[in-house]
């Protein structure tokens, strides 16, 4: 499976989740493949009011892609653009 195919699957699944009313999309970081996993940055449109809902949505997308598509993806949470306006998105800790 190509990187473009993986990103299309991830993007499709992200559109089904809106934790706390925010929109999720692929972030501005780099996508990479290591062993059997694709690492894909994900950026919320705003800071989710309940971070656990954000992480649950990411876990749900990962599980759905593995169960239904056979693709192992690790979604890397990043900060929304407004939280870091002067630079690229960085992983949320």
Q: For residue 77, how many C-alpha atoms fall within 13 Å in the half-sphere facing its CB?
A: 18
Q: Which residue has the higher pLDDT, 13 or 88?
A: 13
Strands 37-44 and 24-26, bridge-based pairing: antiparallel
Which tens digit of pLDDT belongs to each residue from 4-59? 999 999 999 999 999 999 999 999 889 999 999 999 999 999 999 999 999 999 99
How far apart CA 2 and CA 63 sit, in angstroms, is 19
Q: What is the pLDDT of residue 29?
A: 83
Q: Where are the domains of the chain?
A: 3-83
> The tokens of 84 are what?
């870091």
Specify the fold of 3-83.
GMP Synthetase; Chain A, domain 3 (3.30.300)
Extract the tokens encoding 25.
Answer: 């999309």
pLDDT at 83: 55
Question: CA-CA distance, 82 to 16, in Å (whole number)?
Answer: 22
Q: What's the mean pLDDT in 54-74?
A: 97
E-only strand ranges, the chain? 24-26, 32-34, 37-44, 72-77
pTM: 0.84
For the cut 70, the answer to whether the pLDDT of residue 66 exceeds it is yes
pLDDT at 79: 85
């Amino acid at each position: 499976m190509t990187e473009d195919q993986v990103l299309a699957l991830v993007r499709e699944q992200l559109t089904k989740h809106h934790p706390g009313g925010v929109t999720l999309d692929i972030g501005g970081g780099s996508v990479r493949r290591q062993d059997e996993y694709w690492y894909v940055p994900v950026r919320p449109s705003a800071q989710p009011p309940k971070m656990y809902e954000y992480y649950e949505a990411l876990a749900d997308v990962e599980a759905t892609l593995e169960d239904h598509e056979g693709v192992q993806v690790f979604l890397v949470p990043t900060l929304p653009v407004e939280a870091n306006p002067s630079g690229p998105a960085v992983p949320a800790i």
